[in-house]
Amino acid sequence: MRDAFIAELMEMAEQDPSIMLITGDLGFGVLNTYVERFPHQFLNAGVAEQNMTGLAAGLALEGHKVYTYSIGNFTTLRCLEQLRNDVCYHDADVTAVAVGGGFSYGQLGMSHFATEDLAILRALPNMTVIAPSDPWETRVLTRQMAAAPGPKYLRLDKGKAGLAVDEGDVTLGKVRTIRDGKALTIVTIGAILSEALKAADALAADGIDARILSAHTLKPLESAPLVAAARETGAIVCVEEHNVVGGLASAVAQLCLEQGAAPKAFRAVGLGDLYPTIVGDQDYLRAAYGMDASAIAKACHAALGVAA
Amino acid sequence: MQEAPATNQIDTRDMALAIRRHAVQMTHLGKSSHVGSVLSLADILGVLYGRVMAVDPADPRWVDRDRFILSKGHAGAGVYAALAERGFLPREQLKTHYQNGSKLSGHVSHKGVPGVEFSTGSLGHGLSVGTGMALAAKRAGRGNRVYVLLSDGECDEGSNWEAIMFAAHHKLDNLVVAVDYNKIQSLDLVANTLALEPFADKWRAFGWHVTEVDGHDHDALLAALDVPAGGRGQPSVVICHTTKGKGVSFMENQVLWHYRTPQGDEYRDARAELGLTGEGEIADA
């Protein structure tokens, strides 16, 4: 996804000299072509994310379209107050780009797991929160985000859902319907959609047809597909490579309840409000912490009150 | 390029006195803190807004304006007062400071207040933002300057030193920092909290052009602050040696007046020392 993002950014930077990419001294081997082609639209702020983000706000308020780039929590939690006060309160056109959503850097340890970012960023007024599920979707959303001024967060994953390209089906601010179904609805965010797809295949073998929704735009979260899912299907199961507190499940539950569309049953699949203490690759950690396809299928069975 | 508005003919001492008078009344009416901080930097604001900075109350977003960020946002009453004196907002509005429903928050905010460049309040934010603005001005080939006013206690914040390194590395000589160095922070003397000395040497070591002035001497402030945008090849810092609570004898150099609000006899005496007579409030200042 990071390569897709940079590829799209280069196309845009060619057309728009106001675009500035600022890295917090990360992106080895990824940013080289961009830096060569657009040296005047690039800054390395050094290992100094607070300054990077304040600087980004200052540039944005003077007319630049700014992207701050780093991995894990370094463009978000490390400089959260700069995002809140300098970027969001001033409605500055800054996109914080984080490479490595969830367990993307699974071997690096908890410092590099981005597993609270969605909840925290979602709580910032004016902030748009995006987590694509595929590299091609990243390109589409990056392009659409550029046309929407204001503060944005782009969470990029090492994994990918592996869906066929369908650009017309991806719209910023809309929930994508990946697969239709009546028995229950699985709502996902980001590349962990791949696990939901596998879970849905397993459920289908048991005669359970799962609807799958991909909420690549967590904020603003589109209401209609979720309300329809609550009303038309037997349960909503939310899946996120993220703490179950404050992220997708919280957002979906609040939205449905406020719309008077309480799901008949509800489950949150994700990280159970803890810090992982072991490492491994992304697939390993998804399984170890209960958010792989089998855990999702299990949650779906439980939500429907049927034995697996 | 539009001509700079020819409004910078204000007597900076009158301006500073007006800021002090407003500050005492605003903190009295709002029962708010930080009057000592505003009195400390009133002369710096008086010189900047009265003479140095090109700003235009008729066009607050004028693209070639000099930018000013009060990074020590808790002294926001001083900026509101300066803006009122320069015609950006009605003096009468100053009475609403800190009150229910007011746009004039205790820490300076730009929302609905023309002339406020940037909102602050959490320390250690303003310099990075000003650095971004200075960089943008350079890239756009604009000749405006960016002024950022820091407190001394604020220099405890590590984010400032990130920005200090960045601005020097990028030779942002259109960036001018003023430090209100009154030697007192929230709870105690700076020297007893986290010592800044050798303060000027720290800035020099980071690659900045350093000037030290008496922060209440208008001629010295004018000479140090009114520098051209560009030419030095390095950003500038003006370390302004100031007296917290300057202008009201019993507030001077008192840690107490970081938070205490002037009421009763203290308010009466403060008014008298600033030459405010009668019962009139702000609009008469």
For residue A90, what is the domain's CATH number?
A: 3.40.50.970
On whether residue B18 sits in a domain, the answer given is yes
Cβ neighbours of A41 in B, within 8 Å: none
Quick check: is B7 in a domain?
A: no
Alpha-carbon distance A137 to A145, whole Å?
12
Q: Are residues A84 and A199 in the same domain?
A: no
Mean pLDDT computed over A213-230: 98
Summarize pLDDT for B73-100 with one digit per residue, the tens: 999 999 999 999 999 999 999 999 999 9
Q: B1 falls in which pLDDT band (50, 70, 90)?
A: very low
User: Is A113 part of a structural domain of the chain?
Assistant: yes
Select from B125, B132, B162 the Cβ nearest to the Cβ of A56.
B132
**Predicted confidence band of residue A189 (pLDDT cuts 50, 70, 90):** very high
- Tell me the average pLDDT across A187-200: 98
Separation in Å, CA of A65 to nearest CA in chain B: 11
Nearest residue of chain B to residue A80 (CA atoms): B125
Q: Could you tell me if residue B100 is inside a domain?
A: yes
pLDDT at B5: 43
Q: Both A112 and A240 in a single domain?
A: no
Q: Is B5 contained in some domain?
A: no
In angstroms, the CA B210 to CA B200 distance is 7
Amino acid at B271: R
Q: Which domain holds residue B120?
A: 12-284
Kindly report, residue by residue over B244-263, the tens digit of the pLDDT: 999 999 999 999 998 999 99
Domain of A182? 171-304
CA of B108: which chain A residue's CA is closest? A85
Give me the CATH number covering residue A264: 3.40.50.920
A20 and A149 in a single domain? The answer is: yes
- pLDDT of amino acid B280: 60
- % of residues, chain A, pLDDT over 90: 97
Within a domain: residue A295?
Answer: yes
Number of domains in chain A: 2
pLDDT at residue A302 in the model: 97
CA A42, CA A56: separation in Å to the nearest integer?
Answer: 12
Say yes or no for a CB contact (<8 Å) between B129 and A54.
Answer: yes
Residues 6+ apart with CB under 8 A from A249: A238, A240, A266, A268, A269, A270
Asked if residue A161 is part of any domain, the answer here is no
Q: In the predicted model, what is the mean pLDDT of chain A?
A: 97
Same domain, A147 and A16: yes
Per-residue pLDDT, A58 = 98
Q: Residue A13 corresponds to which tokens in the numbers above?
A: 């930077």
In a domain, B232, yes or no: yes
Q: What is the pLDDT of residue A307?
A: 73
**Residues A10 and A149 grouped into a single domain:** yes
What predicted TM-score, i.e. pTM, was given to this entire model?
0.95
- Are B135 and A59 within 8 A, CB to CB? yes
For residue B10, pLDDT beyond 90: no
Q: Which residues of B touch A60 (CB under 8 A)?
A: 132
C-beta separation of B206 from B168 below 8 A: yes
The whole-angstrom separation of Cα B9 and Cα B7 is: 5
Residues A108 and A198 in one domain: no
In total, chain B counts a number of residues equal to 285
ipTM for the complex?
0.94
Q: What is the nearest CA distance from A81 to chain B, expressed in angstroms? A: 8
- Specify the CATH number for the domain of residue B220: 3.40.50.970
Are A196 and A126 contained in the same domain?
no
B contact test, residue of A40, A62, A126 with most B CBs within 10 A:
A62
Q: How far apart, in whole angstroms, are the C-alpha atoms of residue B79 and residue B46? A: 10
Residues of B in contact with A83 (CB under 8 A): none
Single residue among A113, A132, A156 that ends a domain in this structure: A156
A interface residues, B as partner, C-beta within 8 Å: 40, 45-46, 48, 50-51, 53-64, 81-82, 85-86, 89-90
- A67 and A21 belong to one structural domain: yes
Q: Strand, helix or coil at A36?
A: helix
Cβ pair B162:A51 closer than 8 A = yes
pLDDT at B285: 45
- Closest-CA distance of chain B to residue A80, Å: 12
pLDDT surpasses 80 at A134: yes
Of A156, A184, A216, the one marking the end of a domain is: A156
CB-closest option in A54, A64, A81 to B136: A64
Mutate to test the interface with A, among B105, B107, B129, B206 (most CBs of A within 10 A): B129
E-assigned strands of chain A?
19-23, 42-44, 65-71, 94-99, 128-130, 152-156, 176-179, 184-188, 210-214, 217-219, 236-243, 266-271
How many cross-chain Cβ pairs, A to B, lie less than 8 Å apart?
83
Q: Is A164 a domain residue?
A: no
The residue in chain A having the minimum alpha-carbon distance to the alpha carbon of residue B129 is A58
- B132·A59 Cβ contact <8 A: yes
pLDDT tier for residue A308 given thresholds of 50, 70 and 90: low
Q: Is residue B2 part of a domain?
A: no
Whether residues A46 and B124 touch (CB distance < 8 A) is answered with no
Nearest Cα residue to B199 out of B169, B226, B160, B229: B160
Report if residue A166 sits inside a domain: no
Percent of chain B with pLDDT over 90: 92
For residue B3, name the pLDDT band (cuts at 50, 70, 90): very low
A142 and A19 together in one domain: yes
Q: Quick one: pLDDT band at residue B7, thresholds 50, 70, 90?
A: low
B interface with A, Cβ–Cβ below 8 Å = 110, 118-122, 124-125, 127-137, 139-140, 158-159, 162-163, 165-166
Same domain, A213 and A96: no
Structurally, chain B folds into a number of domains equal to 1
Instruction: Say which of A58, A60, A89 has its CB closest to residue B128.
Output: A58
A85: nearest CB among B122, B134, B135: B122
pLDDT at B275 over 70: yes
Do both A99 and A185 map to the same domain? no
Tokens of B262: 């002037």
Are the C-beta atoms of residues A110 and A276 closer than 8 Å to each other? yes
Residue B84 lies inside a defined structural domain of this protein? yes
Residue A162 lies in a domain: no
Look at residue A294 and tell me if it is in a domain. Answer: yes
By three-state DSSP, how is residue B68 classified? strand
Partner residue facing A58 (CB), from B110, B121, B131: B131
Are A152 and A179 in the same domain?
no
Selection from B153, B148, B151 nearest residue B166 by Cα: B148
Nearest CA in chain A to B131: A55
Q: Residue B228: CB partners within 8 Å, gap ≥ 6?
A: none
